[in-house]
């Protein structure tokens, strides 16, 4: 196994742990056991230990989500259809995991304390990247920039909150209801902007 492979395995293992157990719900021993790698491998790649590994996992999650959303928006002429398809895929993923996996960014954010400064900065940056991407794409649907930015934040908070509620309920219903209402509202707004209101 190459050094790059072992680094990637550690990052993905930590990312999965964030999704299922949060930042403080898993220890390094468990991460190494799941990854099937020795402790030396961890400290070779991440001399800062668990926090440095968590930062790498957050960065990887941000890149994966960004890439996925860009691909989704490239598939649809209507950005709002792309949003609906994104939520549909999220519903399928959380149901397939039997409601064990949420969003690694949200799970890490909920588990951080105010003292976890570097982690909070990284998470804020990741959410900002996603917000900016959504803002640009929603603007294509005829929304003014400020309204698109507001809507991007509403989409992200509905997504993250809906995932948490779906996990707690063991059902996709909370996320489905949130986005059914959101997309209905957004379509009405879209018509108003198209009519010059």
DSSP 30-90: HHHHHHT--HHHHHHH-TTTHHHHHHHHHHHHHHHHHHHHHHHHHH-SSHHHHHHHHHHHH
Phi, psi of 192 (to 5 degrees): -65, -45
Report if residue 155 sits inside a domain. yes
Q: H or E element: which one contains 125?
A: helix 117-139
117: containing domain: 54-195
Sites in the chain below the pLDDT cut of 70: 1, 3, 196-197
Task: Please tell me the total count of domains within the chain.
Answer: 1
Report if residue 8 sits inside a domain. no
Looking at residue 25, what is its pLDDT?
Answer: 84
pTM to 2 decimal places: 0.89
The Cα 189–Cα 197 span in angstroms is: 9
Nearest CA-CA partner of 14 in 74, 68, 48, 56: 56
**Per residue in 17-39, pLDDT tens?**
998 888 888 889 999 999 999 99
Looking at residue 197, what is its pLDDT?
Answer: 58
Report if residue 39 sits inside a domain. no
Report if residue 93 sits inside a domain. yes
Looking at residue 3, what is its pLDDT?
Answer: 67
Report if residue 69 sits inside a domain. yes
Q: What is the CATH number of the domain that holds 137?
A: 1.10.357.10
CA dist list (Å): 21 to 12, 14, 16, 173:
14, 10, 8, 22
Report if residue 5 sits inside a domain. no
Looking at residue 97, what is its pLDDT?
Answer: 87
Looking at residue 4, what is its pLDDT?
Answer: 74
**Per residue in 34-61, pLDDT tens?**
999 999 999 999 999 999 999 999 999 9
Report if residue 1 sits inside a domain. no
The Cα 38–Cα 25 span in angstroms is: 20
Looking at residue 107, what is its pLDDT?
Answer: 87
Report if residue 171 sits inside a domain. yes
């Amino acid at each position: 196994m190459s050094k790059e492979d072992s680094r990637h395995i550690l990052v993905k293992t930590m990312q999965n742990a964030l999704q299922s157990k949060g930042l403080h719900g898993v220890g390094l021993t468990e991460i190494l056991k799941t990854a099937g790698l020795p402790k030396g491998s961890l400290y070779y790649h991440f001399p800062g230990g668990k926090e440095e590994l968590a930062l790498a996992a957050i960065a990887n999650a941000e890149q994966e989500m960004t890439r996925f959303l860009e691909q989704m928006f490239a598939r649809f002429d209507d950005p709002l259809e792309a949003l609906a398809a994104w939520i549909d895929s999220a519903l399928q993923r959380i149901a397939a995991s039997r409601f064990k996996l949420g969003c690694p960014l949200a799970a890490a954010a909920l588990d951080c304390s105010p003292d976890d400064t570097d982690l909070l900065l990284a998470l804020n940056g990741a959410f900002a990247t996603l917000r900016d991407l959504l803002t640009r794409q929603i603007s294509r649907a005829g929304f003014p920039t400020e309204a698109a930015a507001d809507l991007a934040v509403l989409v992200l908070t509905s997504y993250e909150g809906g995932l948490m509620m779906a996990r707690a309920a063991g059902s996709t219903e909370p996320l489905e209801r949130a986005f059914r209402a959101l997309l209905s509202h957004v379509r009405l707004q879209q018509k108003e902007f198209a009519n010059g209101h």
